Each structure stands twice: as C-alpha cells, then as structure tokens.
C-alpha cells in the first residue's frame, strides 16, 4: 500500500500506483482486473482481492467510498463527446474526482494532449467493439502476421504519444506474448492470453451471469453460476407476487396474524365514542 496525493492533491492510499504498474513489466506477477458495475459489486470485488478496477465515471465516488485504496480507471465512450476540449475536460474532471487513469478511444492527438498534461491515458487495441463495423463484425484480431504487425504498429504509435496502458481484447495470444516486453505500455489482457501485465474480465462473465442464449464469447470463462441464482430469484419473486395477488383477490389477505388489534376493551369505548361524535363546528 502506497501513500500518495491524488490528482486533487488530497492525501490518499493506493494498492498500486502508475509507477508500480510500469515496474511490473517483465515480472512474473499477474494482476487481476474487473469492472464492478454497482456498489454491491465494488464491495464484492474488493473483498475478493481483485487488484485493479475500471468503472463508469459516475461510479468513481462509490469506489472511493467503498474501496478507497484501489487503483481505478474511468473513461468515456468514443461518441460521448464531440470535441477534443470536451474529452480533455471530462478527463480532468474524472481525475479530480479520484480516478487513477483515463480511458479513451479518440485520436492520437487527444491521447497525446492528455498525456502532456500528466493524465495516465489508457486506450485499446485488438478487437474494439465500438469499431466492429470497420472490421466486419465482432471477431478475433492478429491471427495473421500482417494483422498482428498492424496491431503492433498501433501499439507503438500509442506508446509514442504517451499512452500509459491499453486494454488488449481478443488478440491472438502469441502476439501479445511477443510484444509485451517490447513496449513500456501496461497491457490488460481480455481474451488475449497470459501475456498481459494484468488479466481483465467482466464481473458478469466471471460470475457466470450470462445465459446460454446470450452466447458469451470464448474468453468469458465463468467461475460461478450467479445466472442460475438470478433465474431462481426471478422465479421465486414471480411466485411470491402471484400468491399475494391470489390471496388478496380471494379475500384472504391480510391474515389475522399480520394485523394489529386494539388493546382489550378499547374497541367498545371507541365505537361508543364514534356513535356520539359530532363535528365541532356544528
């Protein structure tokens, strides 16, 4: 655990710093990374020992309340902002509110501009779902030497403009294994093998929340069966609500044991007073 000042110059603690993650390159240490989507998941990830978080910008205050020392990235989607100035302003705001790095898919110019301002910039290589139109749909990347070299060229360009880290999604494992030690960029492997500096997976995939109909991707290995529990909860909820409805319409509910009665003798006194009651304004 390291003592730091955050980007608003408040004293804080972090399990990992930017320097720590850079120093891990070439070591045998592999960090875990996940994307808790709400307060319950933040607590669960922290208690489970997950090393690194990535969350939506509107969740950073929850992380800093519930898991204050966890290294956490936030960012923006490609089409969230129109201008470079808006993206940079959002990055500053996210860092000011407790983020440790900022994710963007925008241009190299934007990445370089933020890096010049000492914002730890994260980007993305391999499969980028946002750009799946350009590559013919959701598919793996780097399965040919030509495409693997294109990915490497993109990674080096990101390194040149100051990018600190990248998510490496659905890239052939041999490619990441070959290039990881040839770059200073910290790599978060999502479906790209063991070559990354951290291994990233979605909380829903880790916990097994997807149904068979959802057709989860190959890399979405389920370590749990939470989806089955969700289905059971749904079925139990519907059954309970249905039983309530039937008992109400049958005239059976509320049951005597759920009702509140008056103290002994008070009913008679109340009814007698009620019969004699007249409005005070008459």
How far apart are the C-alpha atoms of 25 and 21, rounded to whole Å?
7
CB 273 within 8 A of CB 262: no
Inside any domain, residue 185: yes
Q: Please say which residue of 200, 220, 240 terminates a domain.
A: 220
How far apart are the C-alpha atoms of 46 and 31, rounded to whole Å?
13
Inside any domain, residue 166: yes
**Residue 215 sits in the same domain as residue 241:** no
pLDDT digits (tens, 9 = 90+) for 154-183: 999 999 999 999 999 999 999 999 999 999
How far apart are the C-alpha atoms of 207 and 227, rounded to whole Å?
8
**Residue 49 sits in the same domain as residue 138:** yes
Number of domains in the chain: 2
Percent with pLDDT over 70 in the chain: 99
**Residue 240 sits in the same domain as residue 194:** no
DSSP for 137-157? SS--B--SHHHHHHHHHHHHH
Inside any domain, residue 191: yes
Q: What's the CATH number where 212 sits? A: 3.20.20.60
SS3 271: helix
**Residue 169 sits in the same domain as residue 239:** no
**Residue 119 sits in the same domain as residue 197:** yes
**Residue 153 sits in the same domain as residue 243:** no
> In this model, does residue 94 exceed pLDDT 70?
yes
CB 55 within 8 A of CB 40: no
pLDDT of 135 reads 87
Q: Where does the pLDDT of residue 218 fall: very low under 50, low under 70, confident under 90, or very high at 90 and above?
A: confident
**Residue 109 sits in the same domain as residue 245:** no
CB 254 within 8 A of CB 225: no
According to DSSP, the residues that pair with 4 across neighbouring strands are 12
**Residue 121 sits in the same domain as residue 246:** no
Task: Give every CB contact of residue 196 below 8 A, 6+ residues apart in sequence.
Answer: 30, 168, 176, 180, 187, 188, 189
> In this model, does residue 282 exceed pLDDT 80?
no
**Residue 98 sits in the same domain as residue 162:** yes
What domain range includes position 236? 230-276
Backbone angles phi, psi at 166, to 5 degrees: -140, 145
Inside any domain, residue 282: no
pTM of the model: 0.88
pLDDT of 26 reads 80
**Residue 213 sits in the same domain as residue 161:** yes
Inside any domain, residue 281: no
Give, as one character, the DSSP assignment of residue 171: B
Inside any domain, residue 225: no
Average pLDDT, the chain: 95
**Residue 49 sits in the same domain as residue 83:** yes
Give, as one character, the DSSP assignment of residue 179: H
Inside any domain, residue 49: yes
Inside any domain, residue 255: yes
Regarding predicted confidence, which is higher, 279 or 98? 98
**Residue 148 sits in the same domain as residue 253:** no
């Amino acid at each position: 655990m390291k003592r730091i000042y955050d980007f608003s110059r408040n004293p804080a603690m972090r399990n990992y710093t930017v320097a720590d993650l850079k120093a891990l390159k070439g070591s045998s240490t592999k960090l875990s990374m996940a994307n808790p989507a709400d307060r319950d998941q933040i607590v669960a990830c922290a208690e489970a020992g997950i090393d690194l978080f990535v969350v939506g910008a509107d969740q950073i205050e929850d992380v800093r309340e519930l898991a204050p020392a966890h290294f956490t990235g936030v960012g923006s989607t490609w089409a969230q902002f129109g201008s470079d100035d808006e993206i940079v302003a959002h990055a500053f705001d996210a860092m000011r509110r407790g983020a440790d790095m900022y994710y963007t898919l925008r241009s190299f110019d934007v990445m370089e501009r933020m890096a010049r301002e000492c914002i730890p910039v994260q980007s993305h290589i391999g499969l980028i779902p946002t750009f799946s139109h350009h590559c013919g749909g959701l598919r793996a990347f780097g399965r040919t030497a030509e495409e693997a070299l294109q990915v490497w060229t993109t990674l080096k360009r990101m390194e040149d403009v100051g990018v600190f880290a990248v998510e490496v999604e659905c890239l052939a494992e041999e490619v990441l294994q070959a290039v990881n030690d040839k770059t200073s960029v910290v790599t978060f492997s999502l479906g790209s093998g063991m070559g990354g500096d951290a291994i990233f997976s979605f909380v829903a995939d880790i916990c097994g929340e997807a149904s068979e109909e959802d057709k989860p991707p190959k890399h979405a290995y389920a370590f749990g069966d939470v989806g089955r529990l969700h289905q059971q909860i749904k079925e139990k909820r519907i059954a309970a609500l249905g039983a309530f409805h039937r008992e109400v319409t049958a005239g059976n509910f509320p049951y005597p044991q759920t009702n509140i009665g008056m103290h002994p003798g008070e009913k008679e006194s109340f009814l007698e007073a009620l019969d004699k009651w007249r409005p005070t304004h008459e």
